[in-house]
Every structure is written in structure tokens, then in C-alpha cells.
Amino acid sequence: METVEPKILQFRTKTGKCIITSDEITLERSGLRGRLASLLFGDNRRRHLVVYLIVGACLLACGIGLLFSNSPAAAIPLLILGMLCFLNLRLSRNLSAASVIRRDNIVKIEPHAPKAGLARGYFVVHYRDNEQDKKRLIILPGSMDGGAAEYKLALETLSVAGFIV
């Protein structure tokens, strides 16, 4: 009796590759970027959030200090950047760094096409984990690294896997 190998689909991401099997999506960090991301940020979002918190607090403190020392021209950019750090913190709170997402837990996947010279293509995976709604970003390579072609391949791969209609 012949055993049938399950079909494995994959495409490149910014820090490695995305592997889609019949029961899960696995995001694997590989190559130089993947190893650096693992070394600097680890496998969770905690370090990102702490960095944004510290940088945002420092920018706001410096901006307020400059504001009180009658240097509003220098204070305003720092205050704006500090507020942007805190806004990013707020918007990132439901993002996940999960490397494996079970197919049963996936609610939907939103594609976001690359904008030449401005933004990379990416996908937002909406899923449920421990009764919580979470999101995982799958960021694709940039335009200098074949990002547009990789976006088309990823879109086709996710369509074949039945995630995008």
C-alpha cells in the first residue's frame, strides 16, 4: 500500500519562510535576517513592546523638558515621536509572534499588496488562541529582494491552501 505524502506549500518571508501544511502554518526564521531577528527579539513580542515603551517615554520626557526650557521648536518633534511610539504600542497589543498557527484556529487571512518603493506586501492572519482574538503578521521580502513576485507567489499559495478566496 502506497502512502501519500501531505502536500507542503511554502513561500519566502522577510526573515525566513512560511510553510503551509494540511493542519498548520509554520513561520520559520532562517538566513541572516532570521537569525538576527531571533537573537535581537526572541520568540515573543515582549522585547518590541519594552523598546517602544522606553523610547517613547524618553522622547516624551525630553520633549517636555525642552518645552519648559522655552525651546518649542525642538520639543514638538520629540513629543510627536513619543506619542507615535505609544500609539504603536497600543496598536500592537493584539499582535502575536507565534511561529505555529493551527489551521482550525484561523478565522481569516487579509492580503495587503506591496506599494512599490513605499511598503512591503504582507498578510494579516486573524486567529483564536485560548479564547482570545489574535493577529500574526506575515511580512514578505522588500522590492529590492523580489517582493512583488513573492507576494504573487504567496497569494497563489494561500489561495491553493484554501485560506484566500
What is the mean predicted confidence (pLDDT) over 105-130? 89
Q: What is the CATH number of the domain that holds 142?
A: 2.30.29
Same domain, 105 and 151: yes
Q: What is the pLDDT of residue 4?
A: 47
Q: What is the pLDDT of residue 60?
A: 95
Same domain, 123 and 142: yes
Answer yes or no: is pLDDT of 143 > 90.
Answer: no
Tell me whether strands 16-20 and 106-112 are parallel, antiparallel or unpaired.
Answer: unpaired
Q: What is the pLDDT of residue 124?
A: 92
> Measured between alpha carbons, how far is 99 from 165 in angstroms, rounded to an integer?
24
Q: What is the pLDDT of residue 86?
A: 92
Q: What is the pLDDT of residue 21?
A: 87
| 28-77 pLDDT per residue, tens | 887 777 777 766 666 667 777 888 899 999 999 999 999 999 888 999 99
> Measured between alpha carbons, how far is 15 from 31 in angstroms, rounded to an integer?
7
Same domain, 71 and 146: no
Query: For all residues of the chain together, what is the average pLDDT?
Result: 85
Q: What percent of the chain has pLDDT over 90?
A: 30
| 77-106 pLDDT per residue, tens | 999 999 999 998 888 877 887 888 999 999
Same domain, 144 and 66: no
What is the mean predicted confidence (pLDDT) over 107-116? 89
Instruction: Return the C-alpha cell found at 85.
Output: 511610539
Instruction: Return the C-alpha cell found at 112.
Output: 495587503
In a domain, 23, yes or no: yes
Q: What is the pLDDT of residue 112?
A: 92
Region for 94 from its dihedrals, namely left if φ exceeds 0, alpha if ψ lies in -120 to 50, beta otherwise: alpha
User: Residue 53's domain spans which residues?
Assistant: 46-91
> Per the structure, how many domains does the chain have?
2
- What's the longest Cα–Cα distance across the chain? 83
Q: What is the pLDDT of residue 81?
A: 96
Same domain, 79 and 154: no
In a domain, 3, yes or no: no
What is the mean predicted confidence (pLDDT) over 121-141? 89
